[in-house]
Chains A and B, each alone.
Chain A
Amino acid sequence: MSNPAPILLVGLGGAGCSIVGRLASALPAEVKVALIDTDTTALQNLENAEVIQIGRALTRGMGTGGEPAVGLAALEADEPQLRRMLTGHPLVVLVAGLGGGTASGAAASFTAMATESGATILAFATIPFSHEGERRKRQASDALSKLAASAHGLVVVENDLLLIQVPADAPLSASFAAADEWVAGSIRALASTFMPGALVPVDSASVRSILSQVGSPTLFTCGRGEGVNAAKMAAKAACESSLSYGLGTTAKVGSLFVHVAGGEKLSATEAFEVVNMVRAKFGGEVTTLVGARIKPELGDSVEVAVLGASLPPPPKPKPKGKASKGAKVVDEQQQLFVFATEEAIRRGLFGSTPFTFIDGMDVDVPTYIRKSIRLATAP
């Protein structure tokens, strides 16, 4: 592939742009960056990024005021420009902070647009903090379900969980850095498949094939380890990361892509040890793609990124005759893994019950998540 930038990283809306903006400086050359927003102040002038302001006539560069309808209209107004931007990128990574106007309204249509242009799209969506109120949460929830139906892969990042990730006295920037690291981990892993010279090379097309189906449930997690047992530590961190939350212990996916990157000391044995740990946790019976790469700048640390999806089973021939009459057709894959929506992630057993709000908080969400209290680590 002669394209200099096979991956397009798009930040949509205020929050998405700020995440992408922070990431942009440390990205490999295989990634092209684009920022899309209605608000001119949110669009930073990055050197190597394409900046598109949408809905200029609608909002006069002032943002949508939290209205998803305005966000959608803004996107439709600038459709030709966006389509031009999307051409020639086989893989599009979208980062959107749901809950506001631009991202909540435009994300689903943008993904649909990218799919039409032939790209595989992996979306990262952040869900607002619980103290941001009911309306933003509902908007995020609506947008998430639409996005889930139109993207090839969807990874949900919980803002509440971000705060849990870092110590209580850490500065605000540290908790956002945790989210940045999360998105960056995936992009580095994906970009690595397009770069020559890997220890264990993996075909980029087969990675894309994991995400070939629109609306398939996605799993993403990453972890980092340092020191003697770096590889094991990284795998353990990836398996236990609280950002990959709703995927409880039983959640398994059919296809996995595991990418291991480490310093010069990383051996293939260590890389495959990591893969085995990840497979034990997340499944990957259908296919497991393994990529490993030596990055001298990592020193004695190891990074593990796991991307997985369950492909819907191939359509079975319809049962004929009397024998199967009245038999219930059960879609096994569907029951194996349902989409980890915001509700399922945080509300646990109350996932399907109506929301209960006290003082603007959904009280079915565990208290420690709402209060962003970091739990003691496992033994």
Chain B
Amino acid sequence: MKNKPLPALITVIDIGTHKTVALVGQVINGKARMLGFSERRTDGVVKGTVVDLDKLHASVHEVVNDLERVTQRAVHDIYLSIAGPSVEGERVKGFVAVPAHDGKVTPRDLTEAIASAKRLEPPQGRMTMLYMRQPTLLDGRAVVNPLGLQGKRLEVNFWRITMEEGNVRFRVSMVNGMSMHVREFILASHAAACAVVNDSERQGGVLVIDVGAGTTDWILYYKGHILCAGSIPVGGEHVTNDLSVALRISRDTAEDLKLRFASAMHRPADLNQTIWKDGNQGVGDQQFNRGTITQVTSLRFQEIIEFVRKDVVRNLEHIFPGHAVKFDQNFLPSGAILTGGTANLADAVEATQNVLGLSARVGQTQFDTEALRKPEYAGVVGMMVAAIEDAPPVVRRPRGTFDWLRDLFRF
């Protein structure tokens, strides 16, 4: 699948806990032009885990229908995002002793090293989804392209993403059931990062935190490569739940109050504010103390970021055993970038700065459509970017009968 050239039309679908977003783009000179966009409420997913397949199927089907109606074309292959607690990542490495007399690395050495890295089987019941490039080391030095360089030992590293087998299988079968096929999987946090982080930031070191509804996915770039990534099954839905438990109100009311009054920071001045539930002060309207709301939401949001910090530090300890990596501004000069719907919470940046001790900002996607520049769309816009960036260079091949046949019986 990796070797296929980029199609003219790219369809990306991001199935989140709260909403399913899809985008169709036309690729012209390596840039995407948006042809269609659809957003629907996702049913049947809780905390990033699918609980009702039929409902999810219906949600995705609606999205695909929307796209086909807008673009007037059938959607054949799609890019699908993967995220959530069933996704795990680990570092795999492979190396070869460079055999030639002059010690120059040949393409064959590189292929062998890569093959030895990928030889390692994932644990029982899990499936390898993606290999993401990490620095290639020649005699311990990081090199961009080792071909032709002199050295004795060539080491390649990958960040391998694995997922529970059943989880993958039902996603694929769901998509196949709509007579489409999954062209590639894209890690959701990587996609979000592609939308909001530029190359120089990635070179320096940056942590992207995608706070979604059901899960919070993070990814850490260091020296231009992905260093590690992870996911925490807590998100904006938990903020809503906390509010509904604390104020004893329904989920929808809590969601509404969250959007209007919640904050990631609790300030003593909030305690003096009294707010109305509906605002019309009519029958059934209720009064709440704004301080209670900000207290509940700030505690939860700051805890989410704290979980991310712990998870990152744990991963770093695993990658650099024995080295005390200081998780601070020197390590990550570009700081932390927030994306996802919950990044819209007031004062989220300030809270993140306080918890992580890093500079922080909310990621803005560089997209020509104004409506898609919000942090909650970073994922889907980034998938489009990632699909184009990570595609192999176009190689024109003569099309033979065999290709035609293979296209007919698409696998």
Q: Judging by beta carbons under 8 Å apart, are B299 and A376 in contact?
A: no
Q: Judging by beta carbons under 8 Å apart, are A249 and B288 in contact?
A: no
Contact with B along A338-362 (1 / 0, CB 8 A): 0000000011111001101011000
Residues of B near A359 (CB, < 8 A) are 310
Residues of B near A350 (CB, < 8 A) are 46-47, 238, 241
Given contacts A346-B245, A363-B234, contact A353 B300 (CB under 8 A): no
Residues of B near A375 (CB, < 8 A) are 246, 292, 295-296
By a beta-carbon cutoff of 8 Å, the part of chain B in contact with chain A is: 46-47, 49, 51, 85, 232-234, 237-238, 240-242, 244-246, 248-249, 251, 271, 274, 287-289, 291-292, 295-296, 299-300, 303, 307, 310
CB distance from B244 to the nearest CB of A (A): 6
Question: Cα distance A359–B310 when bound, in Å?
Answer: 10
CB distance from B273 to the nearest CB of A (A): 9
Question: Cα distance A249–B248 when bound, in Å?
Answer: 6
Given contacts A348-B244, A349-B251, contact A376 B295 (CB under 8 A): yes
Given contacts A356-B234, A373-B299, A379-B274, contact A349 B289 (CB under 8 A): no
CB distance from A367 to the nearest CB of B (A): 4
Does A248 reach chain B (CB closer than 8 Å)? yes
Does A265 reach chain B (CB closer than 8 Å)? no
Q: Judging by beta carbons under 8 Å apart, are A348 and B295 in contact?
A: no
Interface residue tally on A, bucketed by range = 20 to 34
5 smallest CB-CB distances across A and B, nearest first, come from A366-B242, A367-B299, A376-B291, A348-B245, A348-B241
Does A228 reach chain B (CB closer than 8 Å)? no
By a beta-carbon cutoff of 8 Å, the part of chain A in contact with chain B is: 248-249, 346-350, 353-354, 356, 358-359, 363-364, 366-369, 371, 373, 375-379
Question: Which listed residue (A346, A363, A368, A369) contacts B295, Cβ 8 A?
Answer: A368
Residues of B near A364 (CB, < 8 A) are 47, 238, 241
Q: Judging by beta carbons under 8 Å apart, are A367 and B246 in contact?
A: no
Residues of B near A349 (CB, < 8 A) are 237, 240-241, 244, 251
Closest to B271 in A: A376
Given contacts A356-B233, A375-B292, A376-B295, contact A368 B287 (CB under 8 A): no
Closest to A358 in B: B307
Closest to B242 in A: A366
Question: Cα distance A354–B274 when bound, in Å?
Answer: 36
Q: Judging by beta carbons under 8 Å apart, are B289 and A379 in contact?
A: yes
Closest to A363 in B: B234
Question: Cα distance A218–B284 when bound, in Å?
Answer: 27
Residues of A near B244 (CB, < 8 A) are 348-349
Residues of A near B233 (CB, < 8 A) are 356, 363
CB distance from A362 to the nearest CB of B (A): 11
Q: Judging by beta carbons under 8 Å apart, are B46 and A353 in contact?
A: yes
CB distance from B173 to the nearest CB of A (A): 23
Residues of A near B299 (CB, < 8 A) are 367-368, 371, 373
Residues of B near A353 (CB, < 8 A) are 46-47, 49, 51
Given contacts A349-B244, A366-B241, A367-B303, contact A376 B289 (CB under 8 A): yes
Q: Judging by beta carbons under 8 Å apart, are B289 and A366 in contact?
A: no
Q: Judging by beta carbons under 8 Å apart, are B242 and A368 in contact?
A: yes
Given contacts A364-B241, A368-B296, contact A378 B289 (CB under 8 A): yes
Question: Cα distance A377–B237 when bound, in Å?
Answer: 24
Residues of B near A379 (CB, < 8 A) are 274, 287-289
